[in-house]
Structure 1
Amino acid sequence: MTVPQAAQHYLMKNNLHEDLVSQANSAINPSLRAIRYVHDKFMHAEHGGVNDKPVMDSILDYARNHPELILKIEMLDRRLCAVLVTSFMQRVHQELREAGEVVFVDASSFVDQSSSVVIPMLCAGPAGAALLAVIFTTSQDEAILTKGFSMVKESLGATAFFWKRIATVFHD
């Protein structure tokens, strides 16, 4: 059960859905922050702690354990940009015509307290979405995203985007 679901469940069990005064009374109805705190304590007690390593440390550990992948890390004005391309992603670039046509970019997910962003690049393939690369950044401005896209292109060389070096259309 998620935190918002737990809050709704609490309101339902205590018949507070129509009673706005009681909903606003923090002595009766806990805030979402309080519910999240209890939820996190419960999850830690029942399932153990979450890995508190920064995202970049996790990426570097993954790269050490998988020497076949391509990992490029660069800084741009004190902002981090890293590109990860696995051997499967390289094959998608080389063998799927769709990799050079329309590329979908999803820049909507923050993963930790330092606001690291994970940006998957996907293309539509015969069996569904296929991952082309993953960009990790600490910013979502135009300069850092442009840097990330050019790093993908540099990482793969002539094989990038079905041997075109750039996709026909990028779509968010």
Structure 2
Amino acid sequence: METLSKYNTVRLPLHSESEFVKWLEEFNELSYTTWRVKRTYPPPSDRQFVKVLLKKEYRCQHDTRPESALTNSKRRVATKNTSCKADMAVTIRNVKTKSKSADILLEKFPTTLRIRFSHNHRIMCADALKYRDVSKETIHTLCELFKRRPTAAVEMVKQELLLKHGENYPVIAANRALCPDIPFAHRLYTKMFKELYGDTSDVKMMSVLESHCQQYNEEMESTCMVLKIVNNKPIIAVCTPLMKRTHETIKHAGEMVFMDASSNMDRNNCSVLYF
């Protein structure tokens, strides 16, 4: 490590952008900091003969670079901004190209990192930790708990952290990477819902319902689900293979009808009727 004024220069054994992204994630986790891209230098189109594969500059997330001290006369800049001067610059050189450089570290350590780790704010405090990105492990835990509502999933995560860390829970709960906020859980839930079930708009929802009906009938190898439009409202009738077999083998099944109705099942005010 070579000290240059307020910067430190570090050589890393990283040969690609994906390796650096993984390293940065680990660095964020160990240092309890979060870095955002400040400037990107686009590489040439032909990477086979270029000398530099990646060149980027990063800033601390507490430097939001506001245009002015006040966004308007009534609303002040978010307290997240401290105009932090901590920054870093990364350069990954291509070791496959012929070079006359006298750099003896180039072959094994092609990545050069210049970092100024001089934050003007406390790192291990609730006011800074609450702005960290939610970790991948926490996102995975939330997804597993989304069988419940998003708010309930967050409460379950808090309960697990409380049982695991005990007296240290107040410090852990302030770290957003481990204890996400409810708005984040709702955004993640909405994203997962769209990926699994499609958009809830009228046109897109109908196409998704039709595809689900077709897929279910193919899996059951029989017509068990039918979609029809009645009075401009979609109606889905489902008769599972067990229900069909019951109607075929038990004659009294067609003589008695039991009905259970419920409404307002979701945001679209759908109703479910059991016969």
Please confirm whether the aligned pair reaches a TM-score higher than 0.5, indicating the same fold: no
The higher radius of gyration belongs to: 2
TM-score by length of 1: 0.38
Identify the structure with bigger relative contact order (alpha carbons < 8 Å, sequence gap 6+).
1
Structure number having the greater helix percentage: 1
Structure number having the greater strand percentage: 1
